[in-house]
């Protein structure tokens, strides 16, 4: 009888190659704390298969926005939309890399970031984001993007615990880079403490509240 071992190996290799092919995807995912004004404790994974439309739009200050909505596919009671605005430090262009100490509005030394949705946004916010992949089109809007972000908010009824009011997420726009849970919270090592203090400063909080909480 003719051996079929070689044919089986061929089929297995073909199957593995097929499964390992990475297809460019559009995904916007996030999770948030219960005290987050923007996220309100929600966790979402939004894809085109779920009826979401993805938009990449060039913005002022050399920035851009990524906006998703399901207005054309969902009944009115289930409609939702979410936006991430990103800006480079003044005079720069956003590229692959980590952007620490981002604020709502950019400056000469800090990038800008604003995550909002369903009509909710922060007056002040701080955080950081990492661009894993980016390609620009002729108009300045990304044609390919992979970014992970972490944002802290300015909820009025909080004092220093703005760090409890967080939302983190990931966007993949025409990108092959796998989705993850977004950047983690910095450990309270010296760099971690420095970042936390910087975020507190951005939010207008008092350092003494942080010190009393960590002791």
Question: Could you read off the pLDDT of 111-148 as tens digits, one per residue?
Answer: 999 999 999 999 888 999 999 999 999 999 999 999 99
Establish if 20 belongs to a structural domain: no
Residue 133 CA neighbour count, 13 Å, CB half: 16
**What would the mean pLDDT of 185-203 be, rounded to a whole number?**
47
Establish if 145 belongs to a structural domain: yes
Q: What is the pLDDT of residue 180?
A: 73
Establish if 81 belongs to a structural domain: yes
185 against 56, higher pLDDT: 56
Instruction: Specify the DSSP element, H or E, that contains 12.
Output: helix 5-20
Q: What is the pLDDT of residue 153?
A: 84
Q: What is the pLDDT of residue 163?
A: 74
Residue 179 CA neighbour count, 13 Å, CB half: 20
Question: Does residue 204 carry a pLDDT above 90?
Answer: no
Establish if 116 belongs to a structural domain: yes
Question: Does residue 199 carry a pLDDT above 90?
Answer: no
- Range of 176's domain? 25-185
Question: Does residue 99 carry a pLDDT above 60?
Answer: yes
Establish if 13 belongs to a structural domain: no
pLDDT above 70 covers a percentage of the chain that reads 69
Q: In this structure, how many other beta carbons lie within 10 angstroms of the beta carbon of residue 168?
A: 25
CB 21 within 8 A of CB 49: no
Q: How confident is the model at residue 87 (pLDDT cuts 50, 70, 90)?
A: very high
Q: What is the pLDDT of residue 198?
A: 54
pLDDT tens profile 149-183: 999 987 544 444 457 889 999 999 999 999 875 55
Q: What is the pLDDT of residue 183?
A: 57
Rounded Cα distance between 200 and 127, Å, is 10
Averaged pLDDT of the chain = 79
CB 95 within 8 A of CB 117: no
Q: What is the pLDDT of residue 212?
A: 34
Task: List the single range of 31-40, 52-61, 203-212 with lowest mean pLDDT.
Answer: 203-212
Establish if 69 belongs to a structural domain: yes
Establish if 103 belongs to a structural domain: yes
Burial category of 142 from C-beta neighbours within 10 Å (exposed 0-12, middle 13-18, buried 19 and up): buried
Rounded Cα distance between 3 and 170, Å, is 49
The number of domains in the chain is: 1
Question: Does residue 207 carry a pLDDT above 60?
Answer: no
Establish if 210 belongs to a structural domain: no
């Amino acid at each position: 009888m003719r051996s079929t071992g070689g044919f089986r190996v061929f089929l297995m290799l073909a199957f593995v190659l097929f499964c390992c092919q990475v297809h460019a995807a559009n995904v916007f995912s996030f999770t948030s704390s219960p005290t987050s004004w923007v996220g309100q404790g929600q966790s979402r994974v939004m894809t085109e298969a779920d009826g979401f439309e993805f938009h990449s739009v060039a913005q002022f200050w050399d920035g851009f926005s990524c906006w998703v909505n399901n207005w054309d596919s969902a009944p009115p009671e289930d409609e939702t939309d979410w936006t991430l605005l990103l800006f480079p430090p003044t005079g720069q262009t956003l590229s692959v890399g980590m952007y620490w100490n981002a604020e709502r509005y950019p400056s000469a030394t800090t990038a800008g970031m604003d995550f909002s949705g369903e009509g909710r946004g922060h007056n002040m916010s701080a955080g950081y984001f990492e661009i894993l992949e980016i390609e620009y089109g002729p108009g300045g809007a990304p044609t390919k993007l992979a970014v992970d972000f972490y944002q802290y908010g300015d909820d009025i009824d909080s004092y220093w615990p703005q760090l409890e009011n967080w939302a983190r997420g990931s966007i993949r726009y025409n990108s092959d880079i796998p989705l993850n849970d977004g950047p983690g919270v910095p450990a309270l090592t010296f760099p971690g403490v420095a970042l936390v203090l910087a975020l507190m400063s951005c939010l207008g909080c008092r350092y003494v509240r942080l010190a009393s909480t960590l002791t």
